[in-house]
Chains A and B, each alone.
Chain A
């Protein structure tokens, strides 16, 4: 999978563009680490890739197809996104339903997907919590659940927005291993992080800067 950003410009007001002529290519099998000062537009950039926001000029191309022709749902079939605050991406009444609800909606909940959901719950250490209310979990558990909702699908590219902000050392280790495994299996990862300790745990990431260097 290849995500290309060509001359992307975006600003929340017309006077000051937040992202100005940004060019970059993300490929499968690689881990990228995007850095930049607070408020320089890192999260905004990821929202542009996912088409939650629309670039004012320039183009974003996923596998040779301009995302202008794609819906958020279509992009998300291949690109997973972990929110800066994972709590905001949880909405189901139980942990298990958090994973099964989109399958139910799309009418793709089969015996096979049920097995996959159980496997994913086990992989993320959530089996014992499967009947719990997601919003009452701890910060680390919420993040593991948000990641599980991504990994339960067959995604090819993963975007993580400040993933280490609410987890302990053990959680960081788990997350860095998860990223390494995903990259080894051919997936691409874009990590936004200020946490040097966490970035040091990543396996040889390609460093990118947005805006002026710190």
Chain B
């Protein structure tokens, strides 16, 4: 489905906002299903992206489990005498956190179905200065660069005969913190080189930029925008009435 970048940005904002303000697991599940359906309709290849987000997903699972075990209240589900390990409140709290984070991730994946050029054009049409729009686009493209910087250094360490898998957790954390500094420095050096490259190609040489392809909202976009605003507003109002808002 070919959609204007502004429509997608509105979808991202609405879904993320609803995920943050909703507190009930049922409503969060509904928002999660809608976010997944929107991604499917826009043709985002979630299966392809998931392996790259292994680390983030494992952190979410870890925090969710930790919350399930630490938050007490409700009916006890797993307990020995008076000591409660898992309760219904803890389980709900952990589940809500996992769902909320999953919705935020799914919403951000919507942006993947748009090229960086289209996203910049969309932001400019929303009266965001070109420089800022360009920076936002570059920032998103820089995340894999930072990941590569880090993994290269990790490989360099392994290639010097250090087996990270056999290291204790404390040592692993020390190594990660040790490798973070050069990865950040490397990324800063690369960003400086990128800035020089952009400047040398005439970035901001002229005050007003023109665009070969002008983005225009089609009737389908207007339909999606109105539907999104109506559904998001209606759902938020419904949650407010039911007392399920933050």
Flag the segment in B90-98, B134-142, B156-164 that touches A: B156-164
Interface flag for A206 (CB, 8 Å): no
Give the distance in Å from the alpha carbon of A102 to the alpha carbon of B164 in the complex: 11
Contact residues of B between 120 and 168, Cβ < 8 Å to A: 149, 152-153, 155-165, 167
Interface flag for A208 (CB, 8 Å): no
A85 to chain B, nearest CB (A): 9
Interface flag for A52 (CB, 8 Å): yes
Interface flag for A115 (CB, 8 Å): no
- B155 pairs with A52, CB closer than 8 A: yes
Give the distance in Å from the alpha carbon of A50 to the alpha carbon of B160 in the complex: 11
Give the distance in Å from the alpha carbon of A28 to the alpha carbon of B189 in the complex: 39
* Partner of B161 from A73, A83, A90 at Cβ < 8 Å: A73
Residues of A within 8 A of B185 (CB): 135
* Partner of A135 from B163, B165, B186 at Cβ < 8 Å: B186
Chain A interface size, under 10 / 10 to 19 / 20 to 34 / 35 or more: 20 to 34
- A76 pairs with B159, CB closer than 8 A: yes
**Which chain B residue has the least Cβ–Cβ distance from A81?**
B159
**Which chain A residue has the least Cβ–Cβ distance from B181?**
A93
- A72 pairs with B175, CB closer than 8 A: no
Interface flag for B182 (CB, 8 Å): yes
Give the distance in Å from the alpha carbon of A77 to the alpha carbon of B161 in the complex: 5
- A91 pairs with B179, CB closer than 8 A: yes
Asked, given contacts A88-B153, A89-B152, A91-B156, whether A102 binds B189 with beta carbons under 8 Å apart, the answer is no
Q: Mark A67-99, 1 if CB is under 8 A from B, else 0.
A: 000011110110011010001111111000000
Residues of A within 8 A of B163 (CB): 71-74
Interface flag for B171 (CB, 8 Å): yes
Residues of A within 8 A of B161 (CB): 73, 76-77, 102, 106, 153
* Partner of A72 from B149, B155, B167 at Cβ < 8 Å: B155
B153 to chain A, nearest CB (A): 4
Interface flag for A105 (CB, 8 Å): yes
B157 to chain A, nearest CB (A): 7
**Which chain A residue has the least Cβ–Cβ distance from B189?**
A135
Contact residues of A between 149 and 207, Cβ < 8 Å to B: 149, 153
**Which chain A residue has the least Cβ–Cβ distance from B183?**
A91
Asked, given contacts A91-B178, A91-B182, A135-B182, whether A72 binds B156 with beta carbons under 8 Å apart, the answer is no
Asked, given contacts A71-B163, A71-B165, A73-B161, whether A83 binds B156 with beta carbons under 8 Å apart, the answer is yes
Residues of A within 8 A of B155 (CB): 52, 72, 89
Most A Cβ at <10 Å: residue of B158, B171, B185: B158
Q: Mark A31-63, 1 if CB is under 8 A from B, else 0.
A: 000000000000000000010100000000000
- B159 pairs with A50, CB closer than 8 A: yes
* Partner of A105 from B153, B175, B183 at Cβ < 8 Å: B175
Q: Mark A110-134, 1 if CB is under 8 A from B, else 0.
A: 0000000000000000000000001
Residues of B within 8 A of A80 (CB): 159
Residues of A within 8 A of B178 (CB): 91-92, 101
Give the distance in Å from the alpha carbon of A198 to the alpha carbon of B181 in the complex: 34
Give the distance in Å from the alpha carbon of A102 to the alpha carbon of B167 in the complex: 13
Residues of B within 8 A of A106 (CB): 161-162
B147 to chain A, nearest CB (A): 13
Give the distance in Å from the alpha carbon of A153 to the alpha carbon of B149 in the complex: 24
Q: Which 7 A-B pairs have the closest CB atoms?
A: A89-B156, A73-B163, A88-B152, A102-B160, A91-B182, A72-B158, A91-B153
Further pairs besides A89-B155, A91-B181, A149-B160: 12, Cβ < 8 Å: A52-B155, A71-B158, A71-B165, A72-B159, A76-B158, A77-B161, A87-B186, A88-B153, A89-B159, A90-B182, A105-B175, A135-B189
* B interface with A by C-beta (< 8 Å): 149, 152-153, 155-165, 167, 171, 175, 178-179, 181-183, 185-186, 189
8 contacts between A and B (CB under 8 A): A80-B159, A88-B152, A88-B153, A89-B155, A89-B156, A90-B156, A106-B162, A135-B182
